Amino acid sequence: MSTFLRSMNRKFAPIVVDCQPFWRPGLLNGITRLPYDGYFGAGLAEIERFERMAGDPSGGIDPVAAIIVETVQGEGGLNVASTEWLIGLADAAKRLGALLIVDEIQTGCGRTGPFFSFERAGLQPDIVCLAKSIGGYGLPMSLLLLQPEHDVWSPGEHNGTFRGNSLAFVTAAAALDLWTNDFVAGVERRSLLLADWGRSMSVRYPDRLSAMGIGMMRGLEFAQSAEAAHVAECAARDRIVIECCGPRDEVLKIMAPLNIELDLFSSALERLGRTIDAVFESKKSPSAFRAK
């Protein structure tokens, strides 16, 4: 689900919004959630309905201050919004006079291919959130990018105990220097490897696995969520750190470093494939699978 904010104080715009159930109580009051692209067939018609309701004094939705969206859902299961849907959403925001906030906390800094994931749809968001994507290159940090016309902060106004860690600024700035044509081409090679692997696994198990994601943010959706968890557990024993995402943790999520050595990446994917084979085999005859 993407998350739509309403009645938001423009001066103190929210920095990060997550729609995982854990965060809903207390933190996410005064918002309206709309189905993400593809959810039960939702598409542009859903955006049109939302816009109509938001513009109708009796529509049941207060005037919209901002729309926040991930172009690829990180925790939500690696769902990739279509460019048409993203453009439709950005256009609706403009017509409603709402800010467009793109959450690039997982998708930013080359994870989906271009530096920002919204470049795929040619969007020009008002606000962009970066955190894991930029912090993962160097030291932990989070960052909010604002179009100049929305930057109403006075110097030193956005302060706090852990904000503005100088060392993280230095490492993040150094990491940005890595963003060269060669680096981008390397990310592309790794994403193709990952895409091929995901496709081959879903072809091998068409009823049990679906390939999800884009770029270096891909994974496999398991028809049985317990099997995804089992694979992640066995992979950890095989020294492959992997997590699950999606509403029922049914998606095995592969977020390898963007510069992982190709040989290492390829052999890790092979090992992961064998682990999946073994887990599926064990479901047929439980004694056939012995975790190492």
C-alpha to C-alpha distances, 158 to 128, 152, 163, 164, 202, nearest whole angstrom: 16, 11, 8, 9, 47
Query: Closer CB to ligand PLP, residue 142 or residue 191?
Result: 142
Q: How far apart are CA 84 and CA 48, in angstroms?
A: 13
Stretch that binds ligand PLP, among 67-75, 150-158, 220-228, 270-278 (CB under 6 A): 67-75
Q: How far apart are CA 214 and CA 114, in angstroms?
A: 11
Handedness of CA 246, 65, 110, 87 (dihedral sign): positive
Question: Using CB under 6 A, which of 37, 51, 103, 126 touches ligand PLP?
Answer: 103
Partners of 128 in beta bridges: 102, 145
Question: Using CB under 6 A, which of 74, 77, 108, 219 touches ligand PLP?
Answer: 74
Distance in Å, CB of 25 to ligand PLP, minimum: 16
Query: Closer CB to ligand PLP, residue 238 or residue 243?
Result: 243
Distance in Å, CB of 33 to ligand PLP, minimum: 15
Cα–Cα–Cα angle for 80, 105, 196, rounded to 5 degrees: 40
51 binds ligand PLP (CB under 6 A): no
Question: Using CB under 6 A, which of 105, 130, 172, 220 touches ligand PLP?
Answer: 105
Q: Give me the residue label for tokens 């990446």.
A: 265
User: What residues from 125 to 154 belong to the interface with ligand PLP (CB under 6 A)?
Assistant: 131, 142
213 binds ligand PLP (CB under 6 A): no
18 binds ligand PLP (CB under 6 A): yes
70 binds ligand PLP (CB under 6 A): yes
Q: How far apart are CA 115 and CA 35, in angstroms?
A: 26
The three-state secondary structure class of 62 is coil
Residues that bind ligand PLP (CB under 6 A): 16, 18, 70, 74-75, 103, 105-106, 131, 142
